[in-house]
């Protein structure tokens, strides 16, 4: 009987522990999507949310527009954004499940290309920061390993 239980446990473990795969970012032709919306659209199109938006904030001068929220997705993915200040830029944080550094840096490059901007991006020496060559305006990506996950912080603005 122990043998049967062991086999059942092993089967469940293997069946439920599938490796996480980063979905390919799709190039967007809609100029109205900013980076926050594009990244959120990527997540909602490729992964299931496990709860509704939390910590929702709205603009003071336009109570119909969300300016900040958090949301969790399957595989341990989480997304948060904040852009409530006037002309403050956009702050985004995404927590990714364990993947190799090569996979996550390639994904960042493909995601940035999917935005269809004219900026030329480069990595710092240890591939933890990805930023526009001119360093004046655009989106700045900061990658950090937290336990076994990757925390990607993005700031878009001037």
Question: Is the Cβ–Cβ distance between 141 and 129 less than 8 Å?
Answer: yes
* Beta-ladder partners of 99: none
Q: Is residue 51, in this structure, part of any structural domain at all? A: yes
Distance CA 78, CA 49 (A): 9
Q: Is residue 54, in this structure, part of any structural domain at all? A: yes
Q: What pLDDT score was predicted for residue 63?
A: 81
Domain span at residue 81 reads: 21-157
Instruction: Using pLDDT thresholds of 50, 70 and 90, give the confidence band for residue 114.
Output: confident
Q: Is residue 16, in this structure, part of any structural domain at all? A: no
Q: What pLDDT score was predicted for residue 87?
A: 72
Pick from 2-11, 22-31, 57-66 the range whose average pLDDT is largest.
57-66
b/e code 65-104 from CB counts within 10 Å (16+ = b) = ebbbbebbbebebbbbbbbeeeeeebbbebbbbebeeeeb
Q: How many domains does the chain have?
A: 1
Q: Is residue 7, in this structure, part of any structural domain at all? A: no
Q: Is the pLDDT of residue 31 over 70?
A: no
Distance CA 22, CA 77 (A): 11
Distance CA 45, CA 43 (A): 5
Q: Is residue 14, in this structure, part of any structural domain at all? A: no
Q: What pLDDT score was predicted for residue 3?
A: 40
In tens, the pLDDT along 39-94 reads: 998 999 999 999 999 999 998 888 888 899 999 999 999 999 999 887 778 999 99
Q: Is residue 11, in this structure, part of any structural domain at all? A: no
Q: Is residue 13, in this structure, part of any structural domain at all? A: no
Is residue 5 helix, strand or coil? helix
Read off the tokens for 125. 């020496």
Instruction: Using pLDDT thresholds of 50, 70 and 90, give the confidence band for residue 106.
Output: very high
Q: Is residue 12, in this structure, part of any structural domain at all? A: no
Distance CA 34, CA 32 (A): 6
- Report the pLDDT averaged over residues 120-137: 90
Question: Is the Cβ–Cβ distance between 82 and 112 less than 8 Å?
Answer: no
In what order do the strands lie in the sheet containing 90-96? 54-58, 66-72, 78-82, 90-96, 149-157, 138-146, 129-132, 121-123
């Amino acid at each position: 009987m122990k043998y049967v239980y062991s086999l059942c446990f092993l089967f469940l473990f293997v069946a439920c522990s599938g490796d996480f795969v980063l979905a390919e970012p799709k190039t967007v032709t809609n100029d109205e999507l900013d980076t926050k919306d594009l990244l959120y659209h990527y997540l909602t199109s490729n992964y299931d949310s496990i709860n509704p938006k939390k910590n929702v904030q709205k603009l003071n001068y336009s109570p119909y527009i969300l300016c900040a929220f958090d949301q969790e997705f399957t595989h341990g993915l989480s997304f948060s954004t904040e852009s409530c200040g006037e002309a403050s830029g956009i702050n985004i944080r995404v927590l990714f499940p364990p993947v190799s550094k090569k996979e996550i840096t390639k994904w960042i490059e493909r995601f940035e290309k999917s935005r269809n901007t004219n900026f030329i991006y480069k990595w710092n020496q240890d591939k933890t920061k990805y930023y526009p060559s001119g360093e004046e305006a655009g989106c700045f990506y900061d990658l950090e390993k937290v336990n076994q996950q990757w925390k990607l912080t993005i700031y878009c603005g001037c």
